[in-house]
Amino acid sequence: MGSLWMIVDPATTWVGRAAEQSFRLRSQPVTGVFVYINTGTELGQIPILHSFVAGILGEDVDSKKIITDFLNQVRLHPQNFKKLLLTVALHPKPEASVIWEKQTFTFGKETRYLIDEILMSGLSTAFILTKLKQYSDASFSRQIKDEADLQIKMVNATQNLNKAVLRPFLYDPLLLPMSGGELPYKELSGLARHFAQHMLPRDLAQQIMKSDVSEAHLAYLGSYLRTHAKTLEKKDPHFKRQVEIARKWQRELEQRRKKRGTKKAP
């Protein structure tokens, strides 16, 4: 594995993306040539894959060609990308899923990250999702229907719970802060997993966990719990008061954490 060095202007728009990729490089085994960039910020020098900045360096890397090759791989061998395709079909926001974030493919002899190649190609994520949805429908229509039916069963089972039993599980999804104007699907999935394992019928919970798209199902269930909580907040004065109290505690806890952090700072 080789390495190069370069200095970049911290004002460039892709530094944030580079930092995201650098985090993945530190947490996962990745092959390729590293470029170390000096961000000029508190991030300092960070490693990213050479291919990420190859276009900026003026080298002949056609990212659109790479994406086209990826789409051809998916079209010709959908079974190799089954979890991705099912996630695209069934997740409330596929591009917020873990599998989307970690999806790789091979181009030439290099392992590429899908989200990085989309960024470098200039193509929209919506365009890629549309193409993948077409391939998903063409290859897995029966399973997609079965998995969609499972999502309906999840919601029906939740609605059939006693209100007093369900209510304690509605506060946390509602109190989760939005992230950049988007729902925090990863956190909602975690809350939904706990809810499903403790409150849904055992056979239904097992179906969810063993599914090829358990992440999509949990994100769907988590977003449903949040939506249900928001509706209840508008209709039930008692629930609304309890939510207001919980939010107040949440703000006070955050303020105490900030104060402790300030005291520890040199």
pLDDT digits (tens, 9 = 90+) for 47-80: 555 455 554 444 446 889 999 999 999 999 999 9
* Predicted local distance difference test score (pLDDT) of residue 5: 43
* Predicted local distance difference test score (pLDDT) of residue 254: 80
For the chain, the domains span 1-59, 141-258
Mean pLDDT, consecutive 10-residue stretches, the chain (266 aa), reads 43 47 45 48 55 50 89 97 98 96 93 93 95 98 98 97 94 88 92 96 97 97 96 93 90 81 58
Q: What is the pLDDT of residues 154-181, one digit of tens each?
A: 999 999 999 999 999 999 999 998 877 8
3-state secondary structure of 263: helix
Sheet of 45-49, strand order: 3-7, 34-38, 45-49
DSSP labels for 40-102? Answer: SSTT-EEEEEHHHHTTTTT----HHHHHHHHHHHHHH-GGGGHHHHHHHHHSSSGGGSHHHHH
Between the two ends of the chain, the Cα-to-Cα distance in Å is 39
* Predicted local distance difference test score (pLDDT) of residue 53: 53
